[in-house]
Amino acid sequence: MPLEWSGLSPELLLIVDRESAEGLRSQLERQIRDAIRTGRLNVGERLPSSRELSARLGLSRGLVQDCYAQLQAEGYLVTRVGAATTVAAGACPTPVPRPPQPAAPQWLADFRSGVPDLSSFPLSDWLWAVREAGRAMPTAALDYGDPRGPSQPREVLAGYLRRVRAAAAEAEHMVICSGYAQGFALALRTLAATGLRTLAYEDPGSPALTSAAAAHAGLSSVPVPVDEYGIDVRALEVTGARAVLVTPAHQWPTGVVMAAERRLAVIDWAERHNAFVIEDDYDAEFRYDREPVGALQGLAADRVISIGTVSKSLAPAMRIGWVLCPPALTAGIAANKHLADRGSPALDQFALARLVESGRYDRHLRRMRGTYAARRAALVTALTEHAPGAQLTGLAAGFHAVLHLGTGTDEETLIAAARTRRVGLYGMSAHHASPTTSPPLLVLGFGNVNERSITEGIAAVGDLLRGCN
């Protein structure tokens, strides 16, 4: 697609060699001709004006005009009085057709989990926050700064986490990062530098991402089972690990809330083994039928690395997250952040801080709690109507639920049958460290699917689900 320019003439890299035996006009013609033939300049793309190009190259304007006239005569350029000189149609090589890409499924309903309602992103509030942040941001913040992030946004986020998550958050020990994946990688690299060699993680969980990140940091990884109270600490004891990844507020993907006794047991394990707990605090803002649960980090700030993001509260593409670091690890995590990218975009950090300070972030979360609660209710109602007797768990928070299937159900067969009806279903077996379908379960995300689609989607596969009860 040709670039569109308004007013100013576009830049074009051309080099003339005054020591060459080839004439200057010939050099200019050859370079422009080659740029068009090789596709460096596309059909319809604008060239610099003769006045601009002659001044830039130190050539006479008449020479450039003669060059353009010759290339027009050869069919490479289109020139008109009072209009820009552009590349002529047919002058560029015919592009090699790419093989057709498979069309994306046109879902009746896609119950993919882990995705918030993208259509509800508060764009007007975000643009307002960016403008406000840009107006107030100090000039010094545009320089290479603290890899942890500017102090003012960190202070605002730390205050928010103390207020909403009961975290022992201090700006001094916070590192702003580009989402969970980077925060997790920074934590693992820092722990590996201390001599740690094994990471434990919840099973079911995110085995592929977790094991790959651990291996990249030079660590081995071992799964630990989860029960109705959270991670099995007795099983954790025998792994030999000195770090464990947990999702205590709303276990991913079972939806279990880690019991108070189990939280204390995990912290006790960490203290006895000189170990660290990595807390993925991924969707704690959204709760419905239970009392709020504070961050695990608030109970043991010296042993818990807590990672939070706006991927679920705003949108994954924002790529803004934070790491609450134990004091002993702050310098190491900040140093690794500096090596990774020298720091996350400052303007986005100031904008998020302004969004929080203004109350607009809290207002958005309240609105989304209502939206997700309505979608959760639609899911329950649809299953009650079309698959009576179906058992749903994990509904107390977040925007996904777990549907229990009959013992003899084959997850993959059910999922394949649903796809033929344009309904995306996803099995729990994919979240286990080793292949297993026992017990067969579905993980139903309702964050990015509206109430009508939920109802229609469950109706379309109701007979399949009824046969699994």
Q: In DSSP terms, which residues pair with 176 in a beta bridge?
A: 322
pTM to 2 decimals? 0.90
**pLDDT single digits (tens) 150-187:** 999 999 999 999 999 999 999 999 999 999 999 999 99
Cα–Cα distances in Å, from 277 out to 325, 328, 333? Answer: 11, 14, 15
Residue 301 lies in a domain: yes
Interatomic CA distance for residues 310 and 295, integer angstroms: 16
The CATH code of the domain that includes 82 is: 1.10.10.10
Instruction: State the average pLDDT for the chain.
Output: 93
Q: Do 319 and 207 lie in a common domain?
A: yes
User: What are the tokens at 219?
Assistant: 């660590």
Q: What's the pLDDT at 284? A: 79
Q: Does 46 share its domain with 131?
A: no
Q: Is the separation of the CB atoms in 279 and 184 below 8 Å? A: no
Structural contact between residues 365 and 143, judged by C-beta atoms closer than 8 angstroms: no
* CATH code for position 375: 3.90.1150.10
For residue 397, the model assigns a pLDDT of: 82
| Tens of pLDDT, residues 89-125 | 887 777 677 788 777 779 999 999 999 999 999 999 9
3-state secondary structure of 203: strand
Whether 174 is covered by a domain: the verdict is: yes
Q: Is residue 449 part of a domain?
A: yes
Please tell me the distance from the alpha carbon of residue 342 to that of residue 185, in angstroms, as a whole number: 15
Same domain, 345 and 371: no
Give the CATH number for residue 281. Answer: 3.40.640.10
160: in domain: yes
Regarding whether 456 and 333 lie in a shared domain, the answer is no
Neighbours of 38 (CB within 10 A): 10
Q: Which residues of 275-295 are buried (b: 16+ CB within 10 A; e: fewer)?
A: bbbbbbbbbbbbbeeeeebbb
- Domain assignment present for residue 9? The answer is no
Of 329, 358, 387, the one marking the end of a domain is 358
Rounded to whole angstroms, the Cα distance separating 133 from 136 reads 5
Q: Looking at the structure, do residues 435 and 411 belong to the same domain, yes or no?
A: yes
Are 280 and 339 part of one and the same domain?
yes
Q: How high is the pLDDT of residue 7? A: 53
> Do both 353 and 370 map to the same domain?
no
Same structural domain, 192 and 306: yes
- The bridge status of strand 423-424 relative to strand 441-445 is unpaired
Query: Domain end: 341, 358, 375, which one?
Result: 358
Rounded Cα distance between 335 and 146, Å, is 10
Q: Please state, in angstroms and as integers, the Cα–Cα distance from residue 160 to each residue in 94, 146, 327, 351, following that order.
A: 56, 21, 19, 14
**Tally of domains in the chain:** 3
pLDDT score of 102:
77
What pLDDT is stored for residue 2 in this prediction?
A: 53
Question: Helices marked H in 273-326 — which ranges?
Answer: none
> Residue 189 is which amino acid?
R
Distance CA 1, CA 368 (A): 38
What the block records as the tokens of 311 is 């991927």
Give the number of other CB atoms < 10 A from CB of residue 427: 19
Shared domain for 321 and 176, answered yes or no, is yes
Q: What is the pLDDT of residue 39?
A: 87
In this structure, the answer to whether residues 243 and 336 fall within a common structural domain is yes
From residue 340, alpha-carbon distances to 137, 217, 319, 333 in Å are: 24, 13, 15, 10
Position of tokens 């080839």? Answer: 22
pLDDT at res. 467: 64
Nearest to 43 by CA among 82, 75, 7: 75
Residue of 386, 396, 384, 448 lying closest to 418 (CA atoms):
386
- Residues 58 and 174 occupy one common structural domain: no
Residue 289: φ, ψ to 5°: -105, 15
Contact 144, 341 (CB under 8 A): no
Q: How many angstroms separate the CA atoms of 28 and 53, rounded?
A: 10
Task: Identify whether residues 56 and 176 lie together within a single domain.
Answer: no
**Consecutive 10-residue averages of pLDDT for the chain (469 residues):** 58 91 94 92 90 93 94 90 84 75 85 96 98 96 96 98 96 98 98 97 96 97 96 97 96 94 98 97 78 90 98 96 98 98 96 98 95 96 93 89 89 95 95 82 96 97 83
Is the residue at 6 inside a domain?
no
Residue type for position 439: P
- Within 8 A by CB and 6+ apart from 43, the residues are 2, 87, 88, 89, 90, 91, 92
Out of 328, 358, 388, pick the residue that ends a domain: 358
* Cβ 376 vs Cβ 452: under 8 Å: no
No. of H helices and E strands in the chain?
Answer: 15, 15
Using a pLDDT cut of 90, give the percent of the chain over it: 82
> Closest Cα partner for 282 from 229, 328, 321, 332?
321
Range of the domain at 234: 122-358
pLDDT of residue 97: 76
Domain-embedded: residue 52: yes
The reply to whether 390 falls in a domain is yes
